Structure 1
């Protein structure tokens, strides 16, 4: 039977199945982390492709764990129908993995001007707008706050605090002075503030949101406000997405290629099972 005897094929398949089990766990863990911890990205940029890729990865990881169990049973029992099921399931998983990678790649290519427009619109019309009665606006508001805190950014473009004073949030947070500004006018949400400073929490927050000598009250002034984030979230989010989406693309295509070895060894064992297994004698007669 040559180099790839039945015994060797069973050992190779056992190793492959252990690898599949580990990879499946990695896929589920990474996909769940992206879906749970980073799902707010989709609300801010106005696209569901990021979350779709994460959910595809979770599903593919679950299937991969099941495949490893089926493969072990087929290998131990040397059962040809189980091996057929094993190969078909692997092929399905390869399709899912490649699909997850393709969706992630498609999402990465669409990060651009459309994303910036969506981000601006969510600040103008959704952020802080009747959040007690509007579930979607509340979700988008929380997503923006999470993004600004996580990436230390504010609004969409660099030094773009002025966008907030044109928003529905600004009118609701400053009901009596959103046209004629006074010392109590709040210009940016607290999530735009740098989270560490030399003053007390109240002083630092007041300097960030109501600074009477410079930004965000006077965006064009030269004086620097150390309590306020100057970076816009569009570039920060784009960089964050590109860094994180690379892991989904790599897993989608990389694991897809790895699964091909499982199909190959299972097919060789399937063909090998048509031949009678002749045990090697260990002693002379």
Structure 2
């Protein structure tokens, strides 16, 4: 009669299948099985070598016996036979080398195609960083953020050109082209590492820079008549509308603004871009229900936006640079496998 305990079917003797399985998989039995397998393998290997020695001994005796009946081979015939054997071995080695070279060529071609696509991705990320919310770059005192994006765009263009050059160098099997390709890969590698490192460094400095400069930019440059400040005015208005914030820390920051105290403000307490319902002169009504009251102000919103972009720039730059290491290794292997060609 069978009973069940803890969802496991138990036999009459009280030993479950799980216990039997655990017994067979216990460390002592596994060790014994492994030792027996090794011993059997060694015995098979020794038997093979022993039989080989016996067979070689029989061949040697047969050859000695045949020498009494077959005339010895002439020196000239022996030389021709050795020469023929050398040619066949050379052909085998050449074929073997050719197969390795072909494999490397196709590996490198596949890498170049993927590398060319990666160049398009790098350009896309760089352009996206510069175009989307590009007005915000004017609010930053440091040019590191923009420099990282420009470096990525430059690296992406070189990557796409290098991908085409790499395909040509691979199929033409020209060492000089492979040398140029390797140097370009190395330059792109350094450029992308530089972009990633700049993004990481700026990531650490961003909060302090925004605290020191964003309020100063809003208070002193917003709405002034200088030509260079028109872009800053547009950027601040766009920042406050898109991120639904007002002022660098809060809406009271605008009380210190040069523009608010000038005639061009026309009595506004805050810019119209601070209003939840934007309309002309809505900034005159400094009423809590109509003005964005975001904790931390626009600094926290802009910081989060730029940090997200910096993470993408750093990840793309360093990630693709690491992939390029494989390309450089494949190039070196193919370069070594190719025979010297006359140029």
TM-score range, shorter chain: 0.7 to 0.9
Matched, 1:26 2:121: yes
- 1:174 and 1:186 in contact (8 A); partners too: no
Looking at structure 2, the residues matched to 2 and 110 of structure 1 have their Cα atoms a distance apart, in angstroms, of 54
Offset of 1:126 from its aligned partner? Answer: 0.3
Looking at structure 1, the residues matched to 99 and 293 of structure 2 have their Cα atoms a distance apart, in angstroms, of 63
Runs of 5+ unmatched residues, structure 2 = 1-95
- 1:17 and 1:68 in contact (8 A); partners too: yes
Aligned to 1:164: 254
Looking at structure 2, the residues matched to 186 and 263 of structure 1 have their Cα atoms a distance apart, in angstroms, of 62
Alignment: residue pair count: 244
TM-score (norm 1): 0.80
Offset of 1:136 from its aligned partner? Answer: 1.5
Q: RMSD of the alignment, in Å?
A: 2.1
Looking at structure 1, the residues matched to 245 and 161 of structure 2 have their Cα atoms a distance apart, in angstroms, of 42
Aligned to 2:215: 120
Larger Rg: 2
Aligned to 1:230: 293
The 3 A distance-change label for structure 1 pair 270 and 209 is same
Offset of 1:173 from its aligned partner? Answer: 4.9
Offset of 1:269 from its aligned partner? Answer: 0.7
Matched, 1:64 2:159: yes
Runs of 5+ unmatched residues, structure 1 = 177-184, 196-200, 218-223, 277-285
Higher helix share: 2
Equivalent residues in 2 for 1:104-253, closer than 5 Å: 104-130=199-225, 134-157=226-249, 160-173=250-263, 185-194=267-276, 202=279, 209-211=283-285, 216=286, 224-225=288-289, 227-231=290-294, 232-253=297-318
Aligned to 1:35: 130
The 3 A distance-change label for structure 1 pair 2 and 273 is closer
Looking at structure 2, the residues matched to 73 and 87 of structure 1 have their Cα atoms a distance apart, in angstroms, of 13
- 1:173 and 1:186 in contact (8 A); partners too: no
Aligned to 2:79: none
Offset of 1:3 from its aligned partner? Answer: 11
Q: Once structures 1 and 2 are overlaid, which stretch shifts more, 75-84 or 113-122?
A: 113-122
Looking at structure 2, the residues matched to 50 and 2 of structure 1 have their Cα atoms a distance apart, in angstroms, of 49
TM-score (norm 2): 0.67
Offset of 1:150 from its aligned partner? Answer: 2.2
1:5 alignment partner, SS class: helix
1:65 alignment partner, SS class: helix
Query: Higher relative CO (CA 8 A, sep ≥ 6), structure 1 or 2?
Result: 1
2:262 alignment partner, SS class: helix
Matched, 1:272 2:337: yes
